[in-house]
Copies of this chain bind each other. A is one copy, B any other.
Amino acid sequence: MKLLYADASPFARKVRAVAYELGLQDRIALDFIKAVPGAEPNRELGAANPLRKIPTLLLDDGRSIYDSTVICEYLDGLVPEIALIPSDGAQRAEVMTEHALANGLMDAAVGLRYETAVRPEDARWPSWIADHWDRIDTGLDWFEANSGRLAEPINLAQIALGCLMGYLDFRFAEKGWRSNRPKIAAWGETMLSRPSFTETVPAG
């Protein structure tokens, strides 16, 4: 298998962290890809994934699997002894909703990076920026208020939350997401020190 990725992408990091947690890291070759919205289209990536997004997983038979969540579920299914996504309906919906929250906050954070560093300066929209920071704050507050959920055995939602935290540290350290959130700050210390995270730190 080959993973089209970039080390700065929190979505690609989620897949890589999942691979480590499953012990699959040595079965996945990494291929660094540059994909910036609004820039010249990367047609090589587009042939594998018309959305031109990373991560995209290429199987040995040439088929592509994406997006990051579909890749994570596929990898999880390769290792029957571990379940990062529960199979039971109600429990699964709960974990996948928490995952959707962490993942959606990653999407907002990456959108903020594009808005404030990639989009031309005169085409930025302050109300959009404020709105999306507010969503990130509201979402992190939700995890702080529901931090008991983070005591569950490791799952895909927790891995996504770790990737969100790592991305905020990487791109928006000055925002100080840990302030007034002691519970998830302490949980994050432990999560980000797992090999799945220490081996996938963005180079910058």
- Interface, chain A (partner B; CB < 8 A): 37-39, 41, 46, 49-53, 63-67, 69-70, 73-74, 77-78, 89, 92-94, 96-97, 99-101, 104-105, 108, 119-120, 122-125, 127-128, 131-132, 134-135, 138-139, 141-142
Contacts and interface: CB of A to CB of B under 8 A. Distances in A.
Contact of A108 (B51, B65, B67, B125): B51
A119 B125 contact: yes
**Chain A binding site: helix, strand, loop or mixed by DSSP?**
helix
A63 B94 contact: yes
A120 B131 contact: no
A131 B41 contact: yes
Number of copies: 2
A78 B89 CA distance: 8
Given A38-B131, A66-B100, A67-B104, A73 B50 contact: no
A139 B48 CA distance: 11
B73 A93 contact: yes
A15 to B, nearest CB: 13
B119 A53 contact: no
Contacts of A131: 37-39, 41
A65 B93 contact: yes
Contacts of A39: 127, 131
Contact of A93 (B51, B70, B120): B70
Nearest to A47: B138
A63 B98 CA distance: 12
7 contacts: A37-B132, A41-B134, A50-B139, A51-B108, A63-B94, A73-B93, A77-B93
Nearest to A68: B100
Given A74-B93, A96-B73, A125-B38, A135 B51 contact: yes
Contacts of A100: 51, 66-67, 69-70
Contacts of A46: 135, 138
B89 A51 contact: no
